[in-house]
Structure 1
Amino acid sequence: MIAWTRNGEWLELPLPSSGWKALKPGAIDELAAMLPVPSKYFLRLASKGLIRAEGDRIRIHAFPREAANVPPEPGKLDIVFEDDFCLVINKPAGMSVHPAEAGQKGTLAAAVAHYYMETGQACAIRHIHRLDQDTTGAILYAKNEWAHVLLDEHLRERRIHRKYEAIAAGRFKIAQGRIDAPIGKDRHTAGRRVVSPKGEHAVTHYCVLKRFAQAALIELELETGRTHQIRVHLSHLGHPLYGDTLYGGSSRDFHRQALHAKQLSFPHPITGEMIVASAHYPQDFSQLLDRLSHA
């Protein structure tokens, strides 16, 4: 475990060796080897005098004050995890993660910006991944460039793991399986995706957690991250999500897609410790499960 402390805008660490007196290129390489961040990031900071050896400690300017880059708007946040590097929010339904166009109101980004302002945190808004507007659950933010660089890298390398839970229509004949079907744009309906031989490679793993009379609660994990991947793949199997009218689901008992990002796990940007953040079900999802259980 790396022993680090925050002192205002600076991250402080014990010197990696007693011989450190100047920040020469070799010393930067030694520091980069000790900490899980690309050496180019450290070299850029060092070139600006933002890494310093002082006494028995190294000081890194890891927490500069930044503008939120999204106008803040008050909004209640369900915070699942937070420290100096990361923030995990349990996103509600009906809220876009980030503005799709100038002037869009009511986004999660604006609520996060307001939270940072209210708590005296001068952080830019850096979401690491997205969720559809009506999908609920855990979403990860980086609170500084250090975390952003590393978490983006982890996402590309599939070291950030996301587990979803969904309520799908019909009786699953197979309790668990792997859906390997390419996904492309629907030429006939804007914003819709379809399974297509000419589409992008897409793989989803599913497992039935609980069966109901004509539905199931299922857990899903993605090998790839295509737009609407879970919704398209389950519809392709003949088991559209409750409420997902875009992909053949019925809105009679639920008025949005019944999809929830239940768990998010990722290596911490400095300690490397695996952080596991679980987001509780929203009320409407829990109520649907209750109704199905008593049907």
Structure 2
Amino acid sequence: MNKVLRYQITDKQNGLTIKAVLSSLGFSRHEISRFKFSAYQMYLNQKPVMVNQVVHTDDLLVIEELNVEKFELHSISVEPEILYEDEDVVVVNKPSGMPSHPSHHHLEDDMGTLLRNYYQDEHFVIRPIGRLDKDVSGIMIYAKNQLAAARLTAQRKDGILQKEYYAIVEGQLDSHGILSFSLKKETGKMAQAFNQGGRDCVTEYEVIKRYSTECLIKVCLKTGRTHQIRAGFAGIGHPLLGDTLYGGNTDRINRPALHCARIKFLQPFSKEKLELEIALAEDMKRK
């Protein structure tokens, strides 16, 4: 799914270098640096050019993403649940139990590989923007090309791309609150160490519904750290139901009771505001 961009040079851009034109079009320095290597091919009036080439009014600049790597394709037994799709982005509802991307122990049964086989595209590169743990359900976004991936990653870093989660935690929390803590990855351990140094985390939550011994909460992350929700609430004595890694009870659910339910972001090129929402996962619903 290679991306091809076409730009007609305007009077305002006359006499600029291609590098300056790309910057005026919103390309980051990191993106522009990739044009110097083999990731892209640029043509000015159908002739190959470099970023230091000067352009003139009515010149046609074409940028083509290159991807020569090929991947083995397989048939699929289940189709991905696609919530939104355009030429740059696909957003899916990832079920619990399915990894977001390939790993050493999951080379064929992850959501990214499922998408490649669904499209039957041997050049499809798996580009998840953020990720969900294998046993966490909900919304995942994938970029279909490197230019889109770079822009969506920047949106995530700048807080433009936002997600909301639902979680069921043990015990009762205040109606709303903000958790500030740190998490540290310890060598050889899967769990993150709570408030033992490491990276700062900020998590905002609101109680949606109370049960006798637990509550359903809505969670918004102000930082994006591995296991931020799971380790954070366990650290204050309220582990997620089913989260055995952090001491959660498995009487009602056998996986972390965590579900990504909403996402907001901008289409990487048109800047259209996109907002998607899905219902709570069935195994997290309670009467």
Q: Same fold (TM over 0.5)?
A: yes
Alpha carbons of structure 1 residues 72 and 146: separation in structure 2 relative to 1, 3 Å: farther
| 1:96 matched to 2:102 | no
Task: Give the deviation of 1:31 after TM superposition.
Answer: 4.5
- Aligned equivalents of 2:179, 2:12: Cα separation in 1: 55
Matched, 1:10 2:14: no
1:237-281 CA-partner distances (Å, limit 9, x unpaired) = 222111112222111111101100111212221112222122333
Alignment of 1:191-206 (within 5 A): 191-206=190-205
Task: Give the letter for the 1:206 counterpart.
Answer: Y
Map residues 1-295 of structure 1 onto 2, 5 A cutoff.
Answer: 10-13=4-7, 15-18=8-11, 25-33=16-24, 35-38=25-28, 41=31, 45=35, 50-53=42-45, 58=60, 60-62=62-64, 64=66, 67=69, 69=71, 72=74, 74=76, 75-101=78-104, 104-117=107-120, 122-172=123-173, 174-185=174-185, 190-285=189-284, 288-289=285-286, 293=287
Q: CA deviation at 1:136?
A: 0.6
Gap change, CA 1:68 and 1:127, over 3 Å in 2: farther
**Structure 1 counterpart of 2:50:** none
1:154 Cα deviation after fit: 2.1
Q: Is the Cα–Cα contact under 8 Å of residues 168 and 239 in structure 1 kept in the other structure?
A: yes
Per-residue deviation, 1:233: 1.3
CA drift at 1:146: 0.9
Q: How many equivalent pairs are there?
A: 274
Q: Shift in Å at residue 163 of structure 1?
A: 0.9
- Decide whether aligned partners of structure 1 residues 90 and 272 sit closer, same or farther in structure 2, where only a CA change above 3 A counts: same
Distance change (3 Å), C-alpha of 1:68 and 1:76: farther
Structure 1 position 212, deviation (Å): 2.1
- The answer to whether the 8 A contact 2:99-2:106 is kept is no
2:241 maps to a residue whose letter is: Y
For 2:177, give the aligned amino acid: G
Partner in structure 1 of residue 52 of structure 2: none
Contact 2:73–2:122 (Cα < 8 Å) also in 1: no
Residue by residue over 1:220-240, the C-alpha shift from the partner in whole angstroms, topping out at 9 and shown as x without a partner, is: 111222221101111122221
Tell me the alpha carbon deviations over residues 77-124 of structure 1, each in whole angstroms, 9 at most, x when there is no partner: 01111111111111111111122217733111210110221xx58431
Query: Structure 2: which 5+ residue stretches go unaligned?
Result: 47-56
CA contact 2:9–2:58 (8 Å) conserved in 1 = no
In 2, distance between residues paired with 1:68 and 1:221? 38
Letter in 1 for 2:169: A
TM-score, scaled relative to structure 1: 0.80
Question: Aligned residues: percent identity?
Answer: 27
- Partner SS state of residue 126, structure 1: coil
The CA distance in 2 between the partners of 1:234 and 1:266, in whole Å, is 26
Letter in 1 for 2:83: V
Alignment RMSD (CA, Å):
3.1
1:181 partner amino acid = F
Counterpart amino acid of 1:219? K
Higher deviation after alignment, 65-74 or 142-151? 65-74
Q: What is the rounded CA distance, in whole Å, between the counterparts of 1:43 and 1:193 in structure 2? A: 35
**Structure 1 unmatched ranges of 5 or more:** 1-5
User: Contact between 1:164 and 1:261, CA under 8 Å: does it hold in 2?
Assistant: yes
TM-score (norm 2): 0.82
Distance 2:282 2:177 in 1: 29
CA contact (8 A) 1:181 1:201 kept: yes
* Alignment partners' CA distance in 2, 1:245 and 1:43: 44
CA gap 1:196/1:69 in 2 versus in 1, 3 angstroms: farther
